[in-house]
Amino acid sequence: MLLSTSLSLRTKDKVTLASSKALLERAPTSVDFLKLSTEEAERLAFPAGFYRTKVANLRKIARIIIGKYGGEVPADMEALLAMPGVGRKAANLVLYRGF
């Protein structure tokens, strides 16, 4: 959910869904995501637009999730809002739909 909401910024739902599926098929976990090269992650996220910024933020988020939360997305509003590129709307969606 966090990956999808991060990709969805300024992107149509259909494009977000396709990009999310492509990324999650190749990298279902934060650890897997960090194993992707930046170039491959950007290629998979490309249709979503602003893909370089989104992938950079997702890589930072993955590092935070692994390092600070043991690989689990936190179910805490403040923790989500502290992540790069995550605003209140994305945090609410992650909390409501993801948990």
Q: For the whole model, what pTM was predicted?
A: 0.93
- CATH of residue 45's domain is 1.10.340.30
Quick: pLDDT tens for 43-64.
999 999 999 999 999 999 999 9
DSSP result, 24-49: HHH-SSHHHHHHS-HHHHHHHHGGGS
Q: Which residue is associated with the tokens 């290629």?
A: 43
**Catalytic annotation present for 89:** yes
pLDDT of residue 97: 94
Owning domain of residue 23: 2-98
Whole-number average pLDDT of the chain: 96
Total domains in the chain come to 1
**Residue 17 and residue 72: Cα distance in Å, rounded?**
22
